[in-house]
Amino acid sequence: MSRHRRPLDRPALWGAAVAVPAVVAAAIFVPIAASGAVDLPDKTVEELIAFAHESDVDALSGTIEQTSELGLPDLDALTGALGNAGDARGDGPSEADLDDLVALLTGSHTAKVYLDGEQARLQVLDQLGERNVYVDGAAEQVWYVDSETQTATRVTHTPGDSPTEPRAQDALPTPDAMLDEALARLDETTEVSVGTDSRVAGRDVYELIMVPRTADTLVGEVRFAIDGETGAALAASITARGAGEPAFEIAFTQVDFAAPDPAVFAFEPSDAMTVAEKEIAGHDRGDGEHPERGTGEDAAPAVYGEGWSTVVEIAAPEAGGDAAPAPDQQAMLESLTTPVEGGRAIETALVSVLLTDDGRVLVGAVPASRLVDAAQTGR
């Protein structure tokens, strides 16, 4: 994990390949489930942040559990009907696609995590069936494999001219990846304190607590359990403003810091698998430190605001073909969202999403009204 090798302001480029779950996680960070009386050597806030930032863990294996209680509406009635309609036409989302999306955004999930230098693997083991993400940083590629559907997608990364390089572990949704993002964005908008020592996955941990100073965010607090020996984050939680329990949690239940067997990182698609290829271009620096945005689906996102009230805007895809949604897809959209000025929005406990009438998508850990304002004013 070697945070000391990465400047605090380096973007996690491989995170773009993780799609929706990573966007949510990056917007709000994540969880904690710890127990036991522990008394580690005292550290100040500055000492604990430095200890975590200098962590040099580059290899581990373990089991993580993630729980989401985002307050989404009941989607059960939508998945079957809409999925069957999509299957029949061959153009909409399948029932399996919709079920997977619903499950990813709700409930609990268990996964195995493996990391060794430039290689990483995430193995999801819940009711969705086994799915794997294989990351090869040296080869600049990621494999997404679904054993149930017998599909494999190879995503390759073409570097831009940014002076910093992505790391394999940035692609995995782990507590340490969330801590990395939190430390990269730490500024005067956050009140930081040291909490109570405890135990996670059988290891003694410190607790680092971050509380937004602004009321313009849905986030109430973020807590990290930091391993007392290695400085790696073993758990993280995020609680919505005014709530008593975390809305999103992720934690190791078992962890081993020895290098995994190299065989766990090996993958070759079988002849029976359907294989797809996708390329993601790296961002150039453009003028100053910000990447050039461009147009279309491969454009760099626009960012409005700062700190906890940051809003990210994804550009509308380039025009082409019939962009109107099918009637069933429109029905699902209307069931999940509420009409707002200039589009439709959904607001969960921790994150809001705005779909504008002109095709843009805005996301942030802010009320939906903030997204509407950003869409209209560009700030």
Over the stretch 21-31, which tens digit does the pLDDT of each residue have? 444 444 444 33
Q: Which residues of 352-366 are buried (b: 16+ CB within 10 A; e: fewer)?
A: bbbbbeeebbbbbbb
Task: State the DSSP string of 16-62.
Answer: GGG-HHHHHHHHH------BS---PPP--HHHHHHHHHT----EEEE
User: Per-residue pLDDT for 79 more than 60?
Assistant: no
Do 338 and 76 touch, CB atoms closer than 8 A?
no
**Chosen CATH of 302-377 out of 3.30.310, 3.40.190, 1.10.8, 3.30.70:** 3.30.310
Most confident range (mean pLDDT) of 88-97, 321-330, 352-361 is 352-361
Residues of the chain with CATH 2.50.20.10: 45-79+95-280
pLDDT at res. 109:
84
pLDDT tens readout for residues 119-167: 999 998 766 578 999 999 888 899 999 988 899 999 997 765 554 455 5
To the question of domain 45-79+95-280 being in CATH 2.50.20.10, the answer is yes
Range 135-139, long-range pairs (CB < 8 A, 24+ positions): 135/14, 135/168, 135/169, 135/171, 135/172, 136/168, 136/265, 137/14, 137/166, 137/167, 137/168
Do 365 and 27 touch, CB atoms closer than 8 A?
yes
Which of the two residues, 305 and 251, has the higher pLDDT score? 251
DSSP state of 263: G
pLDDT, mean of residues 215-230: 97
Which one-letter amino acid corresponds to residue 306? E
pLDDT at res. 255:
98
Residues of the chain with CATH 3.30.310: 302-377
Gyration radius (Cα) of the chain, Å: 21
* Closest listed residue to residue 255, CA positions, set 146, 353, 151, 114: 114
